[in-house]
Amino acid sequence: MNVLGQTLFTASVAATTQAGLRAPAGVLYDGAGRLFIGDTGNHRVVVQSMGAIADGQNAANVLGQANFTSGAAAAAQNRMSSPVGAAFDAANSRLFIADSGNNRGLVHPTGAIANGQNASDGLGELSSLDAVLYTKNGLNNGPNTRGLNGAQDVALDVAGHRLFVSDSVNNRVLVFNLDGSNTLVDRVADNVLGQADFDSNGAAVAQARLSAPRGLAYDSAGQRLFVADYTNNRVIVYDVAAVTNGENAVGVLGQANFTTGTAATAQNRLRNPRGLAYQAGTNRLFVGDFTNNRVIVYDVAVVTNGENAVNVLGQALYTTNTAATTQAGLRGPSGVAFDSGTSRLFVADATNNRVLVFDLLATTNGENAVNVLGQTLFTASVAATTQAGLRAPAGVLYDGAGRLFIGDTGNHRVVVQSMGAIADGQNAANVLGQANFTSGAAAAAQNRMSSPVGAAFDAANSRLFIADIGNNRGLVHDGSGGPPAAPSSGSFSGRTTVSSSATWTSSLGAATYTLSISTLPANPPTVVAGSSTTVLTSGTVAGLLPNTTYYGFARACNGFGCSIYTALGSTATLANIPVALSTAALDSTSATLAGGANGNPRDTS
């Protein structure tokens, strides 16, 4: 139905722009109109608005980079390195991101997102006193209770107050206990899955073991944790009602038993699964089957080991795995996120540098996407570091309130898209991990990231948890939502006979600005002669009448709405030179000439 990251279903160009993506690996839907995409190759998370989706639409926001055109990895509080997975706390508006390249998890507040904002908390990179070190991205001296190595995804148990982190290179999943408001009690892991203890990290194919785990999904009703066991080509199911270190899994998908891990392309098999999304209402599990270039859908109401999938996207058949840059095709799908309110599935199509949006109200195998983010066409796949572009997005997360967080991994940022009425290739509203939409370097700092991938959101407290892979840490960002403040001041800066130009101050959290020209001084403007929308703090409105007084007004907008207008004062357009001049009066000391109006509102003398 739609494609994000490309403007056409047949395009696959990687790009670091507001609409583009570069190897996206994770997607997450927040349940309220926002899709978060782990744009892994751009080292960022982009946020797409999922209302009416337009193919290739611009992202609304970005995390991990300062702007949409930057895509370098970095270890800093506002940067990322190859972000992949994410989890969302709707009650607290927090996004948890797996910043894989930084070997950490990040927490971002997502209520009112400011592009390039600082994370509010983190995991995986600590001082000797267990304080967060945002500029460190080491491997933490092997497996232990405090460090991470290649954190890929995070999942949040809102009711049970637990945070799950897939510590990929350590071949394990760590469990952190949270307090009643889902805030970290400390930064020391309380339990481990995939290993018998905190000091082990060997990979294995067994009922209690893991090999490079990637995506996570949590079933709150059944208290089940689904783990994409990447190298073992399977999805493992854990009963986590009460967690015991190194406990056995209770189910497996993609393999007939717990002791086999071969890859295959079939209805009951997988080949390097990455992203996971669980839909509680229908008990469906969506799996980004990366190397098979498809998304597999399982009915997991009751899991039977090695069961068949019920649907497939990206391929028309269960036995094909051709990569494609089309409206129905995929090329290395990674993260997935589902919006239960609109039955939309968001897929981080990493190698195509885009996020695709599928309408799954009635699912058909191999169906077309309905929208695309990161690209303007379904057949494009250019990587870009811009407000609309993406570079290898690896993770997506939807916050349930109209925002999509995209782990723009290659741009080392998280971008935020407003998911109301989606336009293909639309601009993002905000960015985390970078100061603006055109920066993309990785860094270890409080407002930087390095390859962020996964994320989780705490809606009650407006917090975003981010897996900052390249920095080997987790970050916590404040994510309370709302429109930006109005520009504090502004004035007219130029005029012609048919246009007027103005400048104004920037507003924190603004994605775009609107300049409106009125013939009356009333604020808000009531008789608008013309308007223009721009991402800059200056603009020009054309098509005006010459020799006329106009009043200017500017406002700031993002995915949550627009501010009030700021009055810019008045100006008058220049008059045209009159035509058909003739002598109207003549005496010994003076002469009066008269001419036609030549477009002016009145005759000129």
Q: Which of 148-157, 254-263, 470-479, 569-578 has maximum average pLDDT?
A: 254-263
**pLDDT digit string (tens) for 13-66?**
888 988 888 888 777 777 777 878 888 889 888 888 877 778 888 888 888 898
Q: Over 90: is that where the pLDDT of 578 sits?
A: no
Domain ranges of the chain: 8-480, 490-572
Half-sphere exposure of 306 (CA within 13 A, CB side): 10
Residue 86: closest CA among 430, 354, 346: 346
The predicted pLDDT at position 346 comes to 96
Q: Over 90: is that where the pLDDT of 266 sits?
A: yes
Q: Are the C-beta atoms of 429 and 559 separated by less than 8 Å?
A: yes
Reduce the secondary structure of 408-444 to three states and give it as a string.
EEECCEEEEEECCCCCCCECCCEEEECCCCCCCCEEE
Q: Over 90: is that where the pLDDT of 352 sits?
A: yes
Indicate yes or no: pTM above 0.75: no
Q: Are the C-beta atoms of 504 and 538 separated by less than 8 Å?
A: yes
Residue 605 binned pLDDT confidence (cut-offs 50, 70, 90): very low
Residue range 239-252: mean pLDDT, rounded: 98
Q: Report the C-alpha gap between 504 and 111 in whole angstroms.
A: 25
Q: Report the C-alpha gap between 25 and 83 in whole angstroms.
A: 8
DSSP state of 333: -
* Residue 323, token pair as written in the block: 């990569």
Reduce the secondary structure of 209-237 to three states and give it as a string.
CCCCEEEEEEECCCCEEEEEECCCCEEEE
- Tokens 């950490």 — which residue? 104
Residue 399 binned pLDDT confidence (cut-offs 50, 70, 90): confident
Q: Are the C-beta atoms of 383 and 69 separated by less than 8 Å?
A: no
Residue 1 binned pLDDT confidence (cut-offs 50, 70, 90): low
> Which backbone phi and psi does 593 adopt, to 5 degrees?
-105, 145
The predicted pLDDT at position 2 comes to 66
Q: Report the C-alpha gap between 167 and 149 in whole angstroms.
A: 6
Average pLDDT, the chain: 88
The predicted pLDDT at position 596 comes to 67
The predicted pLDDT at position 245 comes to 97
SS3 category, 315: coil
The predicted pLDDT at position 536 comes to 85
Q: Report the C-alpha gap between 87 and 466 in whole angstroms.
A: 8
SS3 category, 483: coil
- Tokens 């995986």 — which residue? 124
Q: Are the C-beta atoms of 2 and 357 separated by less than 8 Å?
A: yes
SS3 category, 314: coil
Q: Is 574 exposed, middle or buried (0-12, 13-18, 19+ CB in 10 A)?
A: middle
Two domains, one topology: 8-480 and 490-572: no
The predicted pLDDT at position 591 comes to 76
The predicted pLDDT at position 143 comes to 83
Residue range 361-380: mean pLDDT, rounded: 96
Q: Over 60: is that where the pLDDT of 389 sits?
A: yes
Q: Is 362 exposed, middle or buried (0-12, 13-18, 19+ CB in 10 A)?
A: exposed
Q: How far is the CA of 380 from the CAs of 47, 352, 367, 373, in angstroms?
A: 19, 8, 19, 11
SS3 category, 352: helix
Q: Which string of DSSP letters, residue by residue, matches 253-267?
A: ESSSSTT------ST
The predicted pLDDT at position 140 comes to 59
CATH number of 8-480: 2.120.10.30
**pLDDT digit string (tens) for 126-165?**
776 677 777 766 655 568 888 888 888 999 999 999 999 9
Residue 364 has a CB neighbour count (10 Å cut-off) of 12
DSSP state of 68: T
The predicted pLDDT at position 138 comes to 63
Question: What's the CATH superfamily of 490-572?
Answer: Immunoglobulins (2.60.40.10)
Q: How far is the CA of 243 from the CAs of 118, 151, 239, 240, 430, in angstroms?
A: 32, 20, 8, 5, 37
Q: Over 90: is that where the pLDDT of 292 sits?
A: yes
Share of the chain above pLDDT 70, in %: 93
**pLDDT digit string (tens) for 178-199?**
999 998 888 899 999 999 999 9
Q: Over 90: is that where the pLDDT of 503 sits?
A: yes
